[in-house]
């Protein structure tokens, strides 16, 4: 509680809530507003009331201004009779929470200095979140000011906010971010009004439309918040329309001053001006919708009363087992995920696509997936056919043209069209199918949710059809939607669902262009666009599309998960339908014209988010280059190679205490949090035993693990196999699920990011993601500890080395540093962090825990950790396993005193922190594999030089005792037919050799095939991995053992090839080589020893020696 005196001027809708909340927090708040009834309400809420801004400001050290416009701010501060500035005490502060131009804030600063009040601190602090959050003190608040002013007022601003964002750049920077937010919020309200007006004109039930859109890709914060007012015909001014007349005016005038085009914001501004002139200005901004329903201002409300379908239409008449076959045509970005979900649902699916690559990915799903050579083959004998093609012309061609699918379908079959098509076209197709006289049914079932939801089987599906058709199709729809609540039946017959989808596409299409316009404008104003994105995605300007598409804009990733051409087509359909109905769709038209310009530049087949390049071309800004603060140039320091033994011998003596014992005692205490290790590939388990590893992370599985785990557990994320954006999203999802599972079970936890000991992986993206989920203010420091003794990775004097024979080689001089995706130039870990993280850190942000520190003991390490400045990066040096034991004990002690860390480490830290003592490698006898008569299976996908040497040694030493199958990668990546033929022969020959007891090596050709950039290189690697998985899935003979060489290969073999969900790490097959066993009934080859052999671990003969030890006697 505090008795700080605060003057609060502007007790409007949000200001009243903010001031009242401060009263509840114990502040002495003196309020003023020109509207006297509000002052009375505030007095009743416990506040004091002044008769003028000047009276409120007397003796107040802090003045908060929450008025509507810059003219009102001017009056509050500088009015000759009642202005507050004249009476503010020395060193007072003015906090401007109003939405004003940044240039105006600069003007205020100048005027204060001119009248001799340079003692007054000015804080730029616009707010967002609405009236409810204002009253609860959970606003999103942006703030920019001098460092001193920020320190002074962080407390009061934190009391008003759930999220407080410090915006670098000085006075005006926060207002510029707010301007971007208001641009989006204003466009989104206008888009919601246009969309609901069109829904009325289409004769749709508007309440049903709202229920669907809030669960689809067309949703936005403003749509979800404002449409209920439209449905209730409630224009009570929670936020008056004239506020957006003012705010959109600020946005567009600022853009004009900078010569920056804002077509959507300008179109939206004209709508607000028209609504204000129509007399709606003092009412709620949601009342803008009345422009689109002339003659019936309550039309949205009235249409919400129309009859809707009942749930009995979703009652299935068939089970998955009764549906003999599903044909799926169109395995594009979303179609692939949908077809894969059907496979997971137990359906036999025959998939077809014009491109071979998605068909290959589809087949790697295993199960009952089969490739079709034509649409006709996919549909032959199918009970249900799903069409997920791009255009209406393709639908018609597949069904009645060259595809001839309609003729080949059996009597009573169901056609599901999930493409976005015109309602009239859907009705036309329905008529043509019925006219064939085969009792064919059409389900109009467009989908929404994006590539991720399609892959997860959690799409929103909008349906309209006869009751009979719906009953037959429901099992298939459920497999793609995950649960009945994600299926929305729309009354009105075939075509009605497509009408609702057009409403969704109107919103989604406008939101994508608005996101591009806004984030580019942010770059123009010199803002850090990554920070703008992080703020707005959770603020009133957020939308599904903003959150989903802007990351690609920030990383310049134009991979066509959703092509620009699709929205050129879809918005064209919306405009055609609007024209047919005589409906004005100005925002849709503006978005469509913008997309057409993008297509004219040749971007039609690239990602729709690539439309941001239009602003970049015209204005010269770069959204991606603005994503982070300007990098501080530096040249990595060079270091010589060192003699291994002499260097280690020169170090101080190792600490001699029984550290592991003390760690074990501490982690046995139930108060010690469980350790959850997120492993970016499976090799991080290489120092552990008798601990579980999960390859799935649903909340139910995590809850069970939290209940049963004693010390902790691994989660295999395999994030190193994904591009940065996907890796961040994956880690974010896992961390959120961990939080939910821990909360449900009453457990506490700590997260460790186990990464590559040769420094490859997503750094700093993964630590940043974990920090964002756990709360940035809760984290004291990052820990970087890549030491791994078994692999010969040492950190000495902050320099990371890789042992090659008797020599310590600086990591940047090894082949690992030349990795096509994760390369680096720095061996000194301080330089490495600066190289990877840019100006996120400075040279003053590092703390070194030296080997000398560690060998002085636990207390010394703990003391250094406790003294580290918040926000530091701690570099952990280590040259022996005991060093990591000591550090682990030190960090546990620091955590007992309340410190919290995010750890990015090698495998050694994990086993030390878990108190795990090493055990000798396991023998064939201990694994009970001598009773089997089949051969062992070795699958090698790693391309690192050490793996190549090990494979050469294996082939030389085993010679004819080893059957070798080599993938000609360069030949296979372009031909589905070649892949299918190769996989078939590989499965046949491998199975025969294994059955005969001969060991089999399946390896990729040693010439590394890479793409033009890191993302495409990952794509080629993914395709090769899918070929290996298909071979593994085809082998029905239970091998004696399975060795997977390389981290990504190991992950794919475990999760896809052997269907593991939970395994136990039983120990090591060789030093640094993990050995798993999975006894789950759902896994393939249950209980077979599975060796996770890292690509960069072991000597030249380690692999050959392991195979020799485990071979059948007749092949020894």
719 assigned to some structural domain: no
**pLDDT tens-digit profile of 651-673?**
999 999 899 999 999 998 888 99
CATH number at residue 294: 1.10.1040.10
**pLDDT tens-digit profile of 74-121?**
999 999 999 999 999 999 999 999 989 999 999 999 999 999 999 999
Among 501, 524, 531, 728, the one annotated catalytic: 501
CB 325 within 8 A of CB 382: yes
**pLDDT tens-digit profile of 342-383?**
999 999 999 999 988 888 889 877 788 999 999 999 999 999
**pLDDT tens-digit profile of 1016-1046?**
444 555 677 788 888 999 999 999 999 999 8
Q: Which of 146, 171, 196 is the last residue of a domain?
A: 171
Average pLDDT in the 163-184 region? Answer: 91
- Read off the tokens for 1083: 């896994």
The torsion defined by the Cα of 537, 541, 544 and 547, in degrees rounded to 10, comes to -30
pLDDT of amino acid 832: 96
pLDDT of amino acid 652: 96
Closest to 913 in 3D by CA, of 660, 705, 715: 660
Average pLDDT in the 549-555 region? Answer: 95
Cα→Cα distances 1092→127, 174, 482, 1044, 1046, Å? 51, 50, 33, 5, 8
Q: Angle at Cα 277 formed by Cα 276 and Cα 278, nearest 5°?
A: 90
Residues 294 and 356 in one domain: no
Which residue's structure tokens are 């014009």? 354
Instruction: Measure the CA–CA gap between 871 and 862, rounded to whole angstroms.
Output: 17
Residues 419 and 543 in one domain: no
156 assigned to some structural domain: yes
CB 169 within 8 A of CB 529: no
pLDDT band at 634 (very low <50, low <70, confident <90, very high): low
Q: Which of 878, 913, 948 is the last residue of a domain?
A: 913
Neighbours of 346 (CB within 10 A): 15
**pLDDT tens-digit profile of 1101-1116?**
999 999 999 999 887 7
Residues 992 and 846 in one domain: no
371 assigned to some structural domain: no
556 assigned to some structural domain: yes
CATH number at residue 32: 3.40.50.720
pLDDT of amino acid 320: 63
782 assigned to some structural domain: yes
Residues 108 and 199 in one domain: no
Residues 12 and 120 in one domain: yes
Least confident of 836-845, 886-895, 989-998, 1040-1049: 836-845
Instruction: Measure the CA–CA gap between 608 and 225, rounded to whole angstroms.
Output: 26
1053 assigned to some structural domain: yes
Say how far residue 972 (Cα) sits from the centre of its chain.
31
CATH number at residue 896: 3.40.50.10840
Tell whether pTM > 0.85. no
Tell me phi and psi for residue 916, to 5 degrees. Answer: -90, 125
3-class SS at 861? helix
Q: Which of 171, 190, 216 is the last residue of a domain?
A: 171
Q: H-type helices in 620-673, by residue range?
A: 644-649, 659-667
pLDDT of amino acid 627: 86
Helices (H) and strands (E) in the chain, counts: 43, 37
* DSSP H or E run through 350: strand 349-352
Residues 650 and 787 in one domain: yes
- The answer to whether the bond into 837 is cis (omega within 30° of 0) is no
Instruction: Measure the CA–CA gap between 761 and 1022, rounded to whole angstroms.
Output: 16
Residues 276 and 189 in one domain: yes
pLDDT of amino acid 59: 84
pLDDT of amino acid 630: 59
Q: Tell me the Ramachandran region of residue 593: left when phi exceeds 0, alpha when psi lies from -120 to 50, beta otherwise.
A: alpha
Residues 411 and 515 in one domain: no
In terms of residue numbers, what domain contains 1108? 937-1059+1067-1115
Query: What letters, b where the CB count within 10 A reaches 16 and e where it falls short, cover 288-303?
Result: bbbbbbeeebebbbeb
Three-state SS string over 330-349 comes to CCCHHHHHHHHHHHHCCCCE
pLDDT of amino acid 1094: 85
CB 365 within 8 A of CB 343: yes
Instruction: Measure the CA–CA gap between 779 and 903, rounded to whole angstroms.
Output: 11
501 belongs to the catalytic site: yes
Asked if the model's pLDDT at residue 310 lies above 70, the reply is: no
CB 46 within 8 A of CB 69: no
Residues 350 and 461 in one domain: yes
399 assigned to some structural domain: yes
Q: How many domains does the chain have?
A: 5
pLDDT of amino acid 822: 92
Instruction: Measure the CA–CA gap between 200 and 532, rounded to whole angstroms.
Output: 35
CB 481 within 8 A of CB 405: no
**pLDDT tens-digit profile of 283-306?**
999 999 999 999 999 999 999 987
DSSP E strands, 671-776: 674-679, 691-694, 712-716, 749-754
1039 assigned to some structural domain: yes
Residues 96 and 14 in one domain: yes
Residues 900 and 760 in one domain: yes
Residues 610 and 662 in one domain: no
Asked if the model's pLDDT at residue 1009 lies above 60, the reply is: no
Beta strands at 326-329 and 384-387: parallel, antiparallel or unpaired: parallel
Average pLDDT in the 705-726 region? Answer: 91
């Amino acid at each position: 509680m505090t008795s700080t005196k605060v003057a609060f001027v502007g007790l409007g809708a949000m200001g009243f809530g903010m001031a009242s909340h401060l009263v509840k927090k114990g502040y002495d708040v003196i309020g003023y507003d020109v509207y006297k009834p509000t002052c009375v309400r505030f007095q009743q809420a416990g506040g004091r009331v002044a008769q003028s801004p000047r009276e409120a400001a007397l003796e107040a050290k802090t003045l908060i201004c929450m008025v509507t416009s810059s003219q009102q701010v001017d009056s509050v501060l500088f009015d000759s009779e009642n202005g507050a500035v004249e009476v503010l005490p020395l060193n007072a502060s003015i906090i401007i929470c109003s939405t004003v131009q940044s240039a105006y804030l600069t003007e205020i600063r100048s005027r204060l200095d001119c009248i001799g009040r340079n003692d007054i601190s000015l804080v730029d602090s616009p707010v967002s979140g609405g009236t409810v959050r204002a009253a609860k003190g959970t606003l999103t608040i942006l703030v920019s000011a001098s460092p001193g002013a920020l320190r002074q007022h962080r407390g009061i601003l934190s009391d008003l906010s759930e999220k407080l964002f410090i915006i670098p750049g000085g006075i005006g920077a926060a207002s510029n971010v707010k301007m971007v937010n208001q641009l989006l919020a204003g466009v989104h309200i206008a888009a919601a009004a246009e969309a609901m007006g069109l829904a009325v004109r289409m004769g749709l039930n508007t309440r049903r439309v709202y229920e669907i859109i809030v669960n689809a890709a067309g949703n936005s914060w403003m749509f979800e918040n404002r449409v209920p007012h439209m449905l209730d015909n409630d224009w009570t001014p929670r936020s008056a329309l004239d506020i957006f007349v003012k705010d959109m005016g600020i946005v567009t005038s600022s853009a004009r001053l900078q010569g920056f085009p804002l077509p959507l914001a300008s179109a939206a501004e004209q709508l607000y001006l028209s609504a204000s002139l129509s007399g709606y200005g003092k009412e709620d901004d949601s009342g803008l919708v009345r422009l689109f329903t002339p003659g019936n201002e309550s039309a949205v409300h009235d249409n919400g009363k129309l009859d809707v379908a009942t749930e009995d239409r979703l009652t299935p008449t068939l089970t998955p087992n009764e549906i003999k076959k599903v044909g799926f045509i169109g395995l594009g970005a979303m179609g692939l995920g949908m077809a894969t979900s059907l496979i997971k649902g137990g359906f036999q699916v025959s998939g077809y696509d014009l491109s071979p690559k998605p068909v290959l990915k589809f087949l790697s799903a295993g199960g009952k997936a089969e490739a079709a050579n034509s649409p006709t083959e996919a549909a032959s004998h199918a009970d249900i056919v799903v069409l997920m093609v791009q255009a209406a012309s393709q639908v018609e061609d597949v069904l009645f043209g060259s595809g001839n699918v309609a003729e080949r379908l059996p009597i009573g079959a169901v056609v599901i069209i999930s493409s976005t098509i015109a309602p009239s076209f859907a009705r036309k197709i329905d008529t043509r199918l019925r006219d064939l006289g085969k009792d064919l049914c059409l389900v109009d079932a467009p989908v929404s949710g994006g590539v991720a939801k399609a892959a997860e089987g959690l799409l929103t599906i909008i349906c309209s059809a006869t009751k009979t058709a719906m009953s037959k199709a429901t099992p298939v729809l459920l497999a793609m939607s995950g649960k009945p609540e994600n299926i929305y039946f729309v009354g009105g017959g075939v075509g009605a669902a497509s009408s609702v989808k057009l409403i969704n596409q109107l919103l989604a299409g406008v939101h994508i262009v608005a996101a591009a316009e806004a984030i580019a404008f942010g770059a123009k104003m010199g803002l850090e666009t990554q920070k703008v994105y992080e703020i707005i995605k959770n603020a009133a300007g957020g939308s599904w599309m903003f959150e989903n598409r802007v990351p690609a804009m920030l990383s310049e990733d134009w991979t066509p998960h959703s092509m620009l051409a699709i929205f050129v087509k879809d918005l064209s359909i919306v405009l055609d339908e609007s024209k047919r109905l005589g409906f004005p769709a100005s925002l849709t038209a503006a978005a469509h014209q913008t997309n057409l310009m993008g297509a004219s530049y040749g971007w039609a087949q690239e990602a729709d988010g690539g439309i941001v390049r239009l602003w970049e071309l015209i204005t010269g800004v770069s959204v991606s280059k603005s994503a982070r603060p300007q990098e501080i140039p530096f040249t990595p320091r060079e270091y010589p190679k060192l003699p291994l033994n002499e260097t280690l011998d020169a170090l101080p003596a190792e600490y001699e205490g029984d550290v592991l014992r003390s760690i074990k005692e501490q982690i046995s205490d139930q108060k010690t949090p469980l350790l959850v290790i997120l492993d970016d590939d499976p090799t991080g388990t290489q120092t552990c035993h008798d601990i579980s590893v999960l390859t799935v992370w649903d909340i139910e599985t995590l809850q069970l693990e939290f209940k049963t785990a004693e010390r902790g557990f691994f989660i295999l994320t395999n994030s190193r196999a994904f591009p940065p954006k996907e890796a961040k999203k994956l880690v974010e999802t896992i961390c959120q699920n961990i939080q939910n599972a821990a909360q449900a079970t009453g457990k506490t936890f700590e997260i460790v990011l186990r990464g590559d000991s040769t420094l490859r992986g997503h750094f700093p993206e993964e630590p940043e993601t974990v920090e964002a989920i756990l709360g940035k203010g809760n984290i004291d420091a990052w820990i970087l500890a890549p030491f791994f003794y078994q692999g010969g990775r040492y950190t000495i004097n902050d320099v990371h080395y890789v042992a090659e024979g008797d020599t310590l080689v600086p990591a940047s001089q090894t082949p690992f540093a030349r990795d096509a995706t994760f390369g680096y130039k720095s061996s000194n870990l301080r330089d490495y962090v600066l190289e990877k993280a840019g100006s996120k850190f400075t040279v003053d942000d590092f703390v070194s825990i030296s080997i000398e520190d560690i060998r002085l003991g636990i207390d010394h390490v703990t003391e250094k950790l406790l003294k580290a400045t918040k926000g530091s990066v701690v570099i952990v040096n280590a040259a022996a396993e005991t060093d990591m034991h000591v550090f682990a004990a030190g960090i546990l002690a620091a955590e007992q005193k309340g410190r919290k860390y995010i750890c990015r480490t090698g495998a050694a830290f994990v086993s030390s922190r878990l108190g795990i003592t090493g055990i000798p490698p396991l023998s064939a006898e201990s694994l009970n594999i001598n009773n089997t008569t089949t051969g062992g299976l070795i699958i090698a996908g790693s391309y690192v030089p050490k793996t190549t040497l090990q494979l050469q040694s294996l082939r030389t030493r085993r010679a004819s005792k080893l059957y070798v199958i080599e993938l000609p990668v360069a030949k296979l990546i372009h031909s589905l037919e070649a892949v299918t033929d190769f996989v078939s022969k590989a499965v046949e020959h491998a199975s025969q050799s294994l059955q005969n007891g001969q060991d089999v090596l399946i390896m990729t050709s040693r010439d590394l095939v890479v793409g033009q950039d890191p993302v495409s290189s990952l794509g080629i690697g993914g395709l090769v991995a899918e070929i290996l998985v298909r071979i593994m899935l085809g082998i029905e003979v239970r091998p004696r053992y399975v060795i997977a060489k390389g981290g990504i290969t190991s992950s794919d073999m475990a999760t896809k090839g052997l269907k593991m969900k939970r395994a136990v790490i039983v120990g090591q097959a060789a030093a640094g080589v993990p050995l798993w066993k999975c006894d789950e009934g759902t896994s393939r080859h249950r209980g077979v020893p599975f060796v996770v052999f890292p690509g960069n671990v072991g000597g030249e003969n380690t692999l050959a020696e392991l195979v020799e030890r485990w071979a059948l006697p007749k092949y020894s």
